[in-house]
Structures are given as structure tokens and as C-alpha cells.
Amino acid sequence: MKNAITLLLLFVVISAVFLAGCTTKTETAKQGDITVTQPDVSSDEVADEALTGWVEENEDVQIGEII
């Protein structure tokens, strides 16, 4: 009986891990209507959008090392 309960609990935990793995997906932007609406925006959100494309001085293009 004790073993059965342990097995059941483990099954629940493992199923949760399984589902988490299945749902880990990265959303991709798709071409379509570009209509953006937002009920209320903060100054930080506007600043984030305003500085999209800002390049930091130490940013580099990476192609991998040869050794």
C-alpha cells in the first residue's frame, strides 16, 4: 500500500516535469496585421521600445573560436 502511494506521488511529480518540458516553447513573431494596442503603458515600457536597437560598446559578432 505504502509503495503504491509513493509510486503514485512520483508519477504525479514526473508527469508535472513532463508537461513542463512539453510546454517550454519559444513564441515566434509572425507576419500579419501590425496593430498594437495597450490599455496603459508605463514610462519604462516606452523607454524600452525607444531604445530598441541600441548597441553596447562591447557587443561583438560571434563566430566561435578556432581552438
Partner 1 sequence: MKKQIFGIGLIILLVLSLFPMVISQEELTEETIAQDTMVEVFTMGQKIGAEMRLLQLEKAITINILGGNEVIAQVEEDGKDATELEALITEFEALKLEIQDLDPEDEEAVEAFVNIKHEAIEISKEFREIAKGLLEQGDKLAIASRIKGLNNTELEQYNEQIRNKIYAQNAEIVSKTFDVLGIENDVLLAKIENGEVTNEEVRNEIRDALQAMTSEEKRSAWTTLKESGIRKVVAVRAKIEKARLNIFERKAKRLDYLTKATERIQDPDRKARVQSTLEKRSSDIENRTYAISNRLEKAKEIGQNIRNITKGRGALE
| Residue ranges binding partner 1 (CB under 8 A) | 3, 7, 10-11, 14-15, 17-18, 20-22, 24-26, 28-29, 31, 34-38, 40-41, 43-47, 49-57, 59-67
CB of 67 to partner 1, least distance (A): 6
CA 35 – CA 26 distance, rounded (Å):
21
User: What count of other Cβ atoms lies within 10 Å of the Cβ of residue 40?
Assistant: 5
CA 27 – CA 10 distance, rounded (Å):
31
CB of 10 to partner 1, least distance (A): 6
CB of 62 to partner 1, least distance (A): 7
Structure-block grid coordinates of residue 35? 496593430
